[in-house]
Structure 1
Amino acid sequence: MRIAFFILVIFFLTGCSLEDRSEAESIVPETEVKEVKNGELDLNVSIFPEKQTIKFIITLMNNTNEMKKIEFPTSQKYEIVIKNKKSEEVYRYSKGKMFTQAIETALIKSGESMEWEEIWEYSTLSPGVYTAEITILAPETVKLKKEESFQISEEESEPK
């Protein structure tokens, strides 16, 4: 009885592994994916200061005619650094956080984009002008960095 069951299982597994895969492969045509080079992706940053929070919308746009591949060495895709008018760092996104140490690959189709949204809740930030430096953490061949200034008003700096 056990031998018959074992033979039946082996027969079933052999049948599954021999199925014709050519039909499935022909349905999805092979798309050429190219590594990203400098200047092929556009980085856009929108900053929305509100009462004791700042919302960052980070967009990475592929304006080429080809699908692009970008690799991240960790689960951290970007860094946000905020500096005051004296160029003193008042915030760093990665400070106090841990990220997975694994290579992650993203594919961006032609004309499409990747978008991340980050909200920073601050408690002590004086009114004034600040600079946000956003860097996409991709390989050395891809330099994606943007600086944007924004204003914190008296009302936005007050506790909720």
Structure 2
Amino acid sequence: MFKKWKPILITGLLVTLTACGQEAEAPGDESQENQEGAEEMNGWQLEVQAVQENEDLKVELQLTNNTDDTQTLEFSSSQAYELVMTDDADEEVYRFSEGMMFTMAIMEEEIEKGDSRTYEESIPLTHIEEGNYTLQAEIAGKTEDNSELPKTTIDVEITK
């Protein structure tokens, strides 16, 4: 009896093992590789990563305090960051703050030495054509001593 089932079991096992080694991609799931960049200035580091997921560009900003002390950032509104995407002709195709309303209140955020803050945004790509773009990211706050925070610019490729 086992002799009849042995080839079927072995074939099933091989098919299962082969399938486990392959990553399936869901229909319509067109993720691309991360596009990233980093800039350091005055003891602060700003890292930006962007990845296209279908009709959205997922952007992550990470601000790290590499100074020797705990620092307090001051924001003049509830806007923590700005993102601006431009095309090859340097025409603006997206600005995070456009059409947004932010609470007009002074806000402070304390970041200890070595700690980071992460901000995430999803840029809709429905009205942005396929092509190469530049994405500039900056933190909207300022430091206690008014030293400049880094801005980071990365190149992104949008595919449809």
**TM-score by shorter chain over 0.5:** yes
- Does residue 136 in structure 1 map to residue 136 in structure 2? no
Aligned to 2:58: 55
Distance in 1 (alpha carbons) for counterparts of 2:149 and 2:112? 19
Q: Which amino acid aligns with 2:49?
A: S
Q: Which amino acid aligns with 1:103?
A: I
> What's the Cα RMSD here?
1.3
Matched positions, count: 117
TM-score (norm 2): 0.69
Instruction: Say whether the 8 Å CA contact 2:138–2:151 is kept in structure 1.
Output: yes
Which structure shows the bigger proportion of residues in helix conformation? Answer: 1
- Does residue 151 in structure 1 map to residue 160 in structure 2? no
- Does residue 96 in structure 1 map to residue 119 in structure 2? no
The unaligned stretches of length 5 or more in structure 1 are 1-37
Distance in 2 (alpha carbons) for counterparts of 1:79 and 1:101? 16
Instruction: Say whether the 8 Å CA contact 2:44–2:149 is kept in structure 1.
Output: no
Q: Which amino acid aligns with 2:122?
A: I
Distance in 2 (alpha carbons) for counterparts of 1:144 and 1:138? 11
Deviation at 1:67, TM superposition (A): 0.7
The CA deviation string for residues 79-108 of structure 1, in whole angstroms up to 9 with x for no partner, is 100001111100000011100011111111
The unaligned stretches of length 5 or more in structure 2 are 1-40
Distance in 1 (alpha carbons) for counterparts of 2:48 and 2:152? 7
Distance in 1 (alpha carbons) for counterparts of 2:136 and 2:108? 23
Deviation at 1:49, TM superposition (A): 1.3
TM-score (norm 1): 0.69
Distance in 2 (alpha carbons) for counterparts of 1:146 and 1:77? 15
Distance in 1 (alpha carbons) for counterparts of 2:68 and 2:109? 17
Deviation at 1:152, TM superposition (A): 1.0
Identical pairs, percent: 32
Q: Which amino acid aligns with 1:88?
A: E
Q: Which amino acid aligns with 1:150?
A: V
Aligned to 2:75: 72
Deviation at 1:145, TM superposition (A): 1.0
Q: Which amino acid aligns with 2:43?
A: E
Deviation at 1:122, TM superposition (A): 2.2
The CA deviation string for residues 45-84 of structure 1, in whole angstroms up to 9 with x for no partner, is 0011121100010000011231111111110011100001
